[in-house]
Amino acid sequence: MAEFIELKESRTDPAYGCPPHERDIETHISHGVVNLDKPSGPTSHQVDAWVRDMLHAEKVGHGGTLDPKVTGVLPLGINRATRVMQLLLEAPKEYVCLMRVHREVDEDRIREVLGEFQGKIFQIPPLKSAVKRELRVRTIYDVNILEIDGQDVLFRIACEAGTYVRKYCHDVGEALGTGAHMAELRRTRVGPFTEEGLVTLHDLKDAYQFWVEDGDERFLRECTLPMEFAVSHLPRAVILDSAVDAVCHGADLARGGIAGLDDNIKKGDTVAVMTLKGELVAVGEALMPSLDIVAADSGLVIETDKVFMKPGTYPRMWRQSL
């Protein structure tokens, strides 16, 4: 668990910006993310379109595509939050999988083989995939067998982004000498999004209607989260009000503009650049680790990559922030 290092005592001007949970409902929606429980059947893009029409949004995008028959966690970004979804593509994933072996095999052997299929594994993406079919290395962080019933093996798998669980089951079956296939799959985690607080399409539709018809926004606020939640798995750098607008215009972040940061930043990490109010300004690449940033007197420490806050949200005070 990261610890936050305060570099200087700082105050934020309430006249500019807004804490994410205090945004008015229209802004909350347009900067919102939904932890959607995808049903079996539709494609992820179909779900995007349904939610876009349901909320009368300009655009909706998802973080990490699920096959039509796969259910579970499908994070959705609304309007300005759609670009934040890109940051979830490389986030670790977790699934519960039902694998069926093609003939009965001793339980101890199944446990032994699944134990061997952890850590670094080699995979060739299946024929029906959106990426080039070439040998790739993926990390399996953990495999936990939940139940074995005859030829059915239920297990939870935590893995690196880009791991094909269907191919994983096939390869396990090859190692068992029996053959195996993925019978069912449910995603239970994408980065900070878990099954806790999942929202169904019906929940979201009802919440929107409560707001439109009755003026009751409570349920819609419960169904949508500020887009800042989608970067809560990234290390943070909190910046002074005087540095915000410069970063909004694409400037790299200098040491003098930082009010505090997490202690677990490594060189090359993607870092969420936040305001003192907790708003997401941008993400960037750390040019040095946390301790070196703390020790530095000046100079650039984070190279800005993607900007999410509109320029002009905070006043222009570039000279003070550089």
Q: Which residues are catalytic?
A: 67
What angle, 0 to 180 degrees and rounded to 10, lies between the N-to-C axes of helices 44-55 and 201-214? Answer: 10
First to last CA, the chain: 31
Contacts of 288-295 spanning 24+ positions with Cβ under 8 A: 289/265, 290/5, 290/235, 290/261, 290/262, 290/263, 290/264, 290/265, 290/266, 291/263, 293/255, 293/258, 293/261, 293/265, 294/5, 294/7, 294/261
Give me the sign of the Cα torsion angle 26, 74, 36, 208: positive
Give me the sign of the Cα torsion angle 284, 288, 289, 292: negative
CA dist., res. 292 & res. 300, Å (int): 12
Tokens encoding 170: 């096939």
**Cβ neighbours of residue 105 under 8 Å, at least 6 residues apart?**
176, 177, 178
Contacts of 206-214 spanning 24+ positions with Cβ under 8 A: 208/54, 208/55, 211/25
In the beta sheet, which residues pair with residue 238?
A: 260, 274
CA dist., res. 267 & res. 287, Å (int): 5
- Of 159, 114, 155, 158, which is closest to residue 136 (Cα–Cα)? 159
CA dist., res. 19 & res. 148, Å (int): 48
Residue count of the chain, please give it.
Answer: 322
CA dist., res. 301 & res. 290, Å (int): 9
